[in-house]
Amino acid sequence: MILRVLLGVVLVVITYMSLTPSEIIVVGNDKVGHLIAYSVLMFNAGLVFFKPTKHFIGAIIFCLIYGGLIEVFQHYIPGRFMSGYDLIANASGVGVGVVLTYFLYNPIIRTLQSTRII
């Protein structure tokens, strides 16, 4: 349950930060922020949907589509711009999240279960 709540929080935060109108135009090195945000999103989604495999693949597809839609919606938000480079950074973050999930899923789930968090 807690992992699903955290996933919801991450989705809300990314959506808010991505779609809030901006008076300051950020050009350049915001790609690291995109990479980190989508790594966290995919890692959280991976912890929730890792098993069975078809759910994990669905989570990957969802995160990729979500990142693409956010970029499209930014075209219509004042002070925001749609960017192919941001889309690449989002997809790269999803890739990092997938790798983190594969390597850290079992130890994290065991730890959460042993501490009775889940």
DSSP element (H, E) containing 47: helix 31-49
Question: How many other β-carbons are positioned within 10 Å of the β-carbon of residue 75?
Answer: 10
In a domain, 7, yes or no: yes
Instruction: Look at 41-45, 56-60, 83-87 and tell me which has the smallest mean pLDDT.
Output: 83-87
On the question of pLDDT at 8 being above 80, the answer is: yes
Does residue 34 lie in a domain region? yes
Q: How many domains does the chain have?
A: 1
Q: What is the pLDDT of residue 26?
A: 60
Q: Which bin fits 51, alpha (ψ -120 to 50), beta or left (φ > 0)?
A: beta
Range of the domain at 83: 2-15+29-114
- Full-model pTM: 0.92
| Residue 43, in any domain of the structure | yes
Q: What is the pLDDT of residues 16-28, one digit of tens each?
A: 999 999 777 666 6
